């Protein structure tokens, strides 16, 4: 046996993977995250409202997801609280725009350089990221770790001009997707269920698809073929899937976290099993035709994972366009919920770019007695002994030395800072 340790960079933070080889194949891969920041401990003993300013700082990429998860957890502590349709729609829009921003950046800054290292495509990531950020600023302001949402709704009104500006930027993002990634009309792309139709198109997704197929990598990175989605909205469906068998009911009582030896992260289990979360899981639960076809051919592989995330972009754009068109600007932005209760518990769930994000709060004596954050990277990157490997761990085990282990690893979009909160 030969052991080899690699420090994985060019991710959000850093991770360490210890490979154990038997001959030329990976027999085990232990994934470790090296430093924690204690966000949950920092929150303990503080007034509940402090969480609105602290949790968005868990991550520099998914700040909106953490904010909305916290807001929803706090709102669950008010038994009679309601928010207006406008406030709900604005929150959905900022979350959707954050996902769009993430997907473009991941595709061009994480995946593309591993397949075409001599090509610089930075501007292909920068332009859509900037446009999405402009749309978010119109809805929520330009504060980097935004606190525009609070129990009862959102702060600030949305003007007709700002609403039109968001719609304009969504159209521009669709134009970029069509120009750069897939040369096809939106509705035709959303209906597509044949891989061959996509292969014949121009665009960067087709190019990556052909490149992976030409190299014979399309079945690499297969894992447990178990998927889970906790968040739901007008686009996503909650539930779990074992291959293609779907169960819609989930119960957070069966969710548990376990420590990982030598790591600052915790692994997360549901009914004592590991599950993959993220775009591939969401596509399997939604029964997205093109991704179901990719899964039928290649399983929960590297290629299926890449396709699921990129193909989620037009679904997100259509969803956001619908929210913008239906935005009721005359509805109140905020409805006063009153004072925080002295004793309460609440859970907030959102679908972040990498998958399901869960915040739990316990209030005792008017203060935070416990705050739990369960992030997507915990689901996907948690390690365990090789006899019961985690999701990414299993995807790496069995790879040959010549196989692209880094590409398989980064297909899960690693986020160290979220995982070591």
Q: How confident is the model at residue 4 (pLDDT cuts 50, 70, 90)?
A: low
Q: State the pLDDT at residue 266.
A: 92
* Average pLDDT rounded to a whole number, residues 228-247: 91
The pLDDT score that the predictor gives to residue 186 is 86
DSSP for 223-241, please give it: ---EEEE---SSS---EEE
- With respect to residue 70, please indicate whether it lies within any of the assigned structural domains: yes
The pLDDT assigned to 279 comes to 97
Let me know if residue 110 belongs to a domain.
yes
Quick check: is 255 in a domain?
yes
More confident residue, 417 or 270: 270
Count the alpha carbons within 13 Å of 284 in the hemisphere toward its beta carbon.
31
For residues 291 and 412, give the distance between their C-alpha atoms in angstroms, rounded to a whole number. Answer: 16
Task: Say which residue, 10 or 188, is predicted with more confidence.
Answer: 188
Residue 421 domain-assigned?
no
Of 9-13, 18-22, 254-258, 409-413, the least confident: 9-13
Q: Give residue 262's pLDDT.
A: 84
What is the reported pLDDT for 10? 56
pLDDT at residue 197, rounded to an integer: 86
In this structure, the chain runs to a length of 421
287 within some domain: yes
Per-residue model confidence (pLDDT) at position 160 = 96
Helix H or strand E encompassing 164: helix 160-176
pLDDT band at 5 (very low <50, low <70, confident <90, very high): low
Mean pLDDT of 15-33: 91
Is the pLDDT at 1 greater than 60? The verdict is no
Domain with 248 in it: what CATH number?
A: 1.10.645.10
Q: For position 421, what pLDDT does the model report?
A: 79
d(CA 125, CA 314): 16
Give the count of domains, the chain.
1
In a domain, 217, yes or no: yes
Q: How high is the pLDDT of residue 45?
A: 98
What dihedral angle (degrees, nearest 10) is formed by the CA atoms of 45, 48, 52, 53?
-40
Mean pLDDT computed over 73-97: 96
User: Phi then psi for 371, rounded to 5 degrees?
Assistant: -135, 125
Residue 419 pLDDT greater than 70, yes or no: yes
pLDDT tens digits, one per residue of 42-74? 999 999 999 999 999 988 788 899 999 999 999
Among 74-78, 90-94, 411-415, the minimum mean pLDDT is found in 411-415
Question: Which residues have a Cβ under 8 Å from the Cβ of 346 and sit 6 or more positions away?
Answer: 72, 73, 74, 75, 76, 77, 360, 361
Query: Which two three-digit tokens encode residue 112?
Result: 């593309």
For 126, the domain range is 2-413
Q: How high is the pLDDT of residue 11?
A: 59
Does position 112 have pLDDT exceeding 90, yes or no? yes
Tell me the Cα Rg of the chain.
21
pLDDT given for residue 168 in this prediction: 98
Residue 251 lies in a domain: yes
pLDDT in tens, 298-345: 999 999 999 999 999 999 999 999 999 999 999 999 999 999 999 999
pLDDT > 60? residue 7: no
pLDDT at position 367 is 98
**Residue 282 pLDDT:** 97
Average pLDDT in the chain: 92
Token pair recorded at residue 181: 């990634």
Interval 354-392: pLDDT, tens: 999 999 999 999 999 999 999 999 999 999 888 999 999
pLDDT at position 59? 83
The model's confidence at residue 3, banded by pLDDT at 50, 70 and 90, is: low
Q: pLDDT band at 353, cuts 50/70/90?
A: very high
Under a CB-based contact definition with an 8 Å cutoff, are residues 271 and 197 in contact? no
What pLDDT was estimated at residue 36? 82
Classify residue 420: in a domain, yes or no: no
Q: What is the pLDDT of residues 138-181, one digit of tens each?
A: 999 877 777 899 999 999 899 999 999 999 999 999 999 999 99
Tell me how far apart the alpha carbons of residues 106 and 302 are, in angstroms, rounded to a whole number. 14
């Amino acid at each position: 046996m030969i052991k080899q340790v690699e420090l994985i960079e060019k991710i959000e933070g850093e991770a360490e993977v210890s490979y154990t080889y038997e001959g030329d194949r990976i027999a085990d891969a232990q994934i470790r995250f090296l430093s924690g920041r204690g966000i949950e401990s920092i929150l303990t003993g503080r007034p509940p409202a402090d969480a609105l300013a602290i949790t968005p700082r868990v991550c520099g990429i998914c700040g909106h997801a953490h904010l909305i998860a916290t807001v929803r957890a706090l709102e669950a502590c008010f038994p009679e609280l309601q928010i207006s349709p406008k406030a709900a729609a604005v929150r959905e829009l900022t979350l959707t725009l954050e996902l769009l921003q993430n997907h473009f950046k991941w595709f061009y800054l994480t995946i593309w350089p591993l397949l075409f290292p001599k090509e610089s495509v930075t501007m292909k990531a920068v332009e859509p990221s900037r446009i999405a950020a402009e749309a978010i600023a119109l809805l929520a302001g330009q504060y980097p770790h935004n606190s525009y949402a609070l129990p009862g709704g959102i702060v600030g009104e949305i003007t007709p001009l700002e609403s039109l500006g968001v719609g304009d930027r969504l159209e521009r993002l669709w134009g970029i997707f069509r120009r750069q990634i897939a040369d096809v009309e939106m509705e035709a792309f959303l209906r597509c269920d044949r891989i061959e139709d996509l292969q014949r198109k121009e665009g960067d997704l087709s190019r990556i698809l052909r490149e992976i197929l030409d190299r014979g990598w399309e079945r690499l990175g297969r894992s447990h073929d178990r998927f889970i989605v906790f968040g739901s909205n007008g686009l996503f469906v909650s539930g779990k899937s074992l291959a293609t068998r779907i169960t819609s009911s989930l119960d957070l009582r069966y969710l548990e976290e376990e420590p990982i030896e030598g790591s600052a992260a915790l692994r997360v289990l549901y009914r004592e099993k590991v599950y993959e979360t993220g775009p591939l899981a969401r596509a399997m639960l939604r029964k997205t035709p093109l991704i179901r076809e990719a899964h039928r051919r290649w399983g929960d592989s590297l290629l299926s994972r890449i396709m699921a995330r990129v193909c989620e972009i037009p679904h997100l754009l259509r969803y956001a366009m619908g929210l913008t068109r239906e935005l009721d600007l005359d509805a109140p932005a905020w409805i006063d919920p009153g004072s925080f209760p002295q004793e309460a518990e609440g859970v907030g769930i959102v679908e972040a770019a990498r998958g399901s994000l869960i915040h739990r709060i316990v209030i005792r004596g008017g203060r935070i007695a416990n705050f739990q954050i369960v992030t997507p990277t915990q689901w996907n990157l948690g390690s365990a002994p090789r006899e019961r490997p985690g999701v990414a761990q299993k995807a790496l085990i069995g790879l040959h030395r010549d196989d692209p282990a880094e590409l398989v690893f980064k297909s899960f979009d690693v986020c160290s800072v979220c995982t070591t909160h």
